[in-house]
Structure 1
Amino acid sequence: MNIPILLSTAYLPPVQYFSKFLLHSEVWMESQEHFIKQTYRNRCLILAANGPESLIVPVEKGRSLKQNMAELRISYDTNWQHTHWQAIVSAYNSTPFFEILEADFRPFFEQKFEFLFDFNQQLIQTILDILEISPKLFLTKEFETVPEPFLNFREAIHPKRQKALPDSDFEPVAYTQVFDDKFGFTSNLSMIDLLFNCGSASYEMLLKSVGKK
């Protein structure tokens, strides 16, 4: 599509999020909005032994309730990095491609990042590199409520199904998951779920999810 798309930042975002990089030649990341709680901006969803599990990056609380996304600092009051990485290892160490891709992701849970936006962006770029996708990627310079001529997806992709907006351009494609014998196929988890389970076939699964053959 020639229409540029506007996405919020996100922590290890879901498959739907990355499908947008295939559909839109120009992707803009919103860096000037205020932080919104209970969204993918600081959480991801993985499939653990007991079902879907949310991993949430804690952030520092500022004096103002309206904190600029690009200036939002990660909190290290708890050892969340160790907790997140152990959860990821426990969920995916038996997947076919975990050992191959482990080295790409482990450093993010050993090195401390100051800002959530920077942390997210580097993770997103790592996943794009693994997928060998090279979009035209830009950061917003100011916030616009109704940006033109962008397709505005800042709020469309949401961890709460009742808040997510309909997306006719994305149809989840089932793939083998470690715990699908217990839960069946669980769609639209973090992109790492697809990568660890499918490896080099992940790009093809993304293409199928947007109807491209």
Structure 2
Amino acid sequence: MKNVLLPAFYLPPISWFSIFLDSENEILFEQFESFPKQTYRNRTNIYGANGKLSLIIPIIHNGNREFKSTEISYREDWMDIHWKSIKNMYQSSPYFEYYEDKLKGLYDTKEKYLLDFNLKSIDIVQKILKTEKAYSLNDEYIKFPKEINYRENFSPKKPSEFEMEQYYQIFEDKFGFLKDLSILDLICNKGPESTTYIKNIK
């Protein structure tokens, strides 16, 4: 087994799940890092009618920088906006209707902390994928951890380095295949085949 330190993301990209679900990896989530801006910790990318669309969770800027204590802002109804965006973009996909109720559950209750919301999103995806991957949370921030460190490996600002096969996407006739979007894109378009697809990512 390999010990792996992963950041906890909001409906993570497909490549993240290839690391998370790898049977060789024992997963530890980072909760004590200083909250980094413009990462998948508070955003997810879906395929919109105009190309890639980022859904961003607003956070409260109260001086605290620790990820586990980062609070979500509800001054605007972003949950409703995110859900309507997801539904509008994926309701014509092959499998959305099968997972709609589970996905909607993510936006039914307000979590105070971003970490809790992200873990909830990961747990919901696991139910859809019918996986039961165990994970734990770290006890302290270590700059140079002994685990394989993936804290900086996934960036919405850089092209994904992971290799993955093309699959059907609703708007691909307009913008082509968009690689490594949110896991949402994969499960809505490939359904039960998603887990096999994830295992073949390199």
Relative to the length of structure 2, the TM-score reads 0.95
1:155 equivalent to 2:152? Answer: yes
Deviation for aligned residue 1:130? 1.8
1:191 equivalent to 2:189? Answer: no
**Structure 2 unaligned blocks of 5 or more:** none
> 8 Å contact 2:106–2:124 — kept in the other structure?
no
Structure 2 counterpart of 1:61: 61
Number of matched residues? Answer: 201
> 8 Å contact 1:25–1:135 — kept in the other structure?
no
Distance of 1:36 and 1:133 partners within structure 2:
29
Structure 2 counterpart of 1:126: 124
> 8 Å contact 2:95–2:190 — kept in the other structure?
yes
| SS of corresponding position for 1:33 | coil
Superposed CA RMSD in Å reads 1.3
Matched to 1:204, the amino acid is T
Structure 2 counterpart of 1:202: 194
Residues 92 and 102 from structure 1, CA distance in 2 versus in 1: closer, same or farther, beyond 3 angstroms?
same
Matched to 1:20, the amino acid is I
Deviation for aligned residue 1:25? 2.9
Deviation for aligned residue 1:39? 0.3
| SS of corresponding position for 1:209 | coil
Deviation for aligned residue 1:133? 2.4
Match of 2:83 among 82, 85, 88: 85
Deviation for aligned residue 1:129? 2.4
Percent identity for Structure 1 against Structure 2: 37
Q: How does 1:1-213 map to 2 (within 5 A)?
A: 2-23=1-22, 24-64=24-64, 67-148=65-146, 150-161=147-158, 166=161, 170-210=162-202
**Structure 1 unaligned blocks of 5 or more:** none
- Runs of 4+ residues over 6 Å off in structure 1: none
> 8 Å contact 1:25–1:136 — kept in the other structure?
no
| SS of corresponding position for 1:201 | helix
| SS of corresponding position for 2:196 | helix
Distance of 1:60 and 1:22 partners within structure 2:
31
